[in-house]
């Protein structure tokens, strides 16, 4: 491990809260690696969500800086936002060494979530949101057991978020990918095609909370290969 390790900035999904990554932060700390975990939930409840999310991240990180070199680790729905978050840190005088996608979507600059999924999936979510709010994330997967702390933190995100264009920010620096579940096999394959450092675990999407030790080791391996 480098004498001055890169700080891992753990970014939770817009549909979840920091409880989904807090055990991972603790596991990284137990391995002697610094990590910070911003809470971005207040920024996702009113449109335009992308703009508010990016502004909230900038505010939180400006209070945390200077951290020295950092790597952003984005889980799930946070993945497409990582380049925009990295730009905010760099603009504030920080130094982003790399991005690590943790069972996450990849960026689609200028395209919305709606633009990247089959029409029937978009129609399904629209039918689930008659009041203009998406159901809380645990309700997307009936019958799936979710830790109470994670379920309680899940915000009600406006349905309009799915139609908002994602930030048109291009990241040209190093990237890596850690797979936790089969839901993101296509993203892992794309990461490998791009020559990124990768690690594939046969766990579950929320393994950063339920099985944090192996996830921490995988994240650290990819982070150091990417940004160390």
Q: Is residue 131 part of a domain?
A: no
Give the range of the structural domain holding residue 45, as residue numbers without chain letter: 7-107+165-227
**Predicted TM-score (pTM) above 0.85:** yes
Find the mean pLDDT for residues 132-143. Answer: 91
Q: Please state, in angstroms and rounded to a whole number, the distance separating the CA atoms of residues 225 and 219.
A: 10
pLDDT by residue (tens digit) across 160-182? 999 999 999 989 999 999 999 99
The CATH number linked to 25 is 3.40.50.1820
Distances (CA, A) of 42 to 13, 147, 191, 219: 13, 21, 31, 27
pLDDT band at 145 (very low <50, low <70, confident <90, very high): confident
Question: Looking at per-residue confidence, does 71 or 228 come out higher?
Answer: 71
Number of domains in the chain: 1
Q: Quote the DSSP letter at residue 197.
A: -
Residue with tokens 């944090």: 212
Q: Please state, in angstroms and rounded to a whole number, the distance separating the CA atoms of residues 87 and 142.
A: 37
pLDDT by residue (tens digit) across 95-113? 899 999 999 999 999 999 9
Q: How many CB atoms lie within 10 A of CB 179?
A: 23
Q: By percentage, how much of the chain surpasses pLDDT 70?
A: 97
Decide: 24 and 216 in contact? Cβ < 8 Å.
yes
Q: Is residue 91 part of a domain?
A: yes
What pLDDT sits at residue 5?
81
Q: Is residue 133 part of a domain?
A: no
Q: Is residue 146 part of a domain?
A: no
Q: Is residue 132 part of a domain?
A: no
Q: Is residue 119 part of a domain?
A: no
What pLDDT sits at residue 3?
45
Q: Is residue 139 part of a domain?
A: no
Q: Is residue 23 part of a domain?
A: yes
Distances (CA, A) of 146 to 16, 39, 61, 77, 210: 11, 19, 29, 17, 9
What pLDDT sits at residue 2?
42
Q: How many CB atoms lie within 10 A of CB 110?
A: 11
């Amino acid at each position: 491990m480098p004498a001055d390790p890169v700080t891992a900035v753990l970014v939770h999904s817009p549909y979840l809260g920091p409880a989904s990554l807090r055990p991972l932060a603790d596991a990284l700390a137990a391995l002697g690696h610094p990590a910070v975990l911003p809470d971005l939930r207040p920024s996702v409840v009113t449109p335009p969500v992308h703009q508010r999310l990016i502004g909230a991240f900038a505010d939180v990180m400006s209070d945390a800086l200077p951290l020295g070199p950092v790597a952003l680790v984005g889980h799930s729905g946070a993945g497409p936002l990582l380049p925009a978050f990295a730009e905010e840190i760099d603009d504030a005088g920080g130094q982003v060494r790399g991005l690590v996608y943790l069972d996450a979507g990849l960026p689609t600059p200028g395209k919305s979530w709606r633009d990247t999924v089959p029409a029937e999936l978009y129609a399904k979510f629209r039918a689930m949101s008659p009041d203009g709010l998406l159901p809380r994330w645990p309700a997307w997967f009936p019958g799936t057991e979710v830790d109470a702390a994670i379920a309680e933190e899940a915000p009600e995100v406006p349905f309009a978020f799915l139609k908002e264009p994602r930030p048109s920010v291009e990241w040209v620096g190093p990237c890596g990918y850690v797979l936790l579940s089969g839901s993101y096999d296509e993203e892992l394959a794309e990461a490998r095609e791009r020559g990124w450092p990768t690690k594939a675990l046969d766990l579950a999407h929320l393994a950063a909370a339920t099985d944090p030790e192996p996830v921490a080791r995988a994240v650290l391996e990819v982070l150091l290969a990417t940004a160390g």
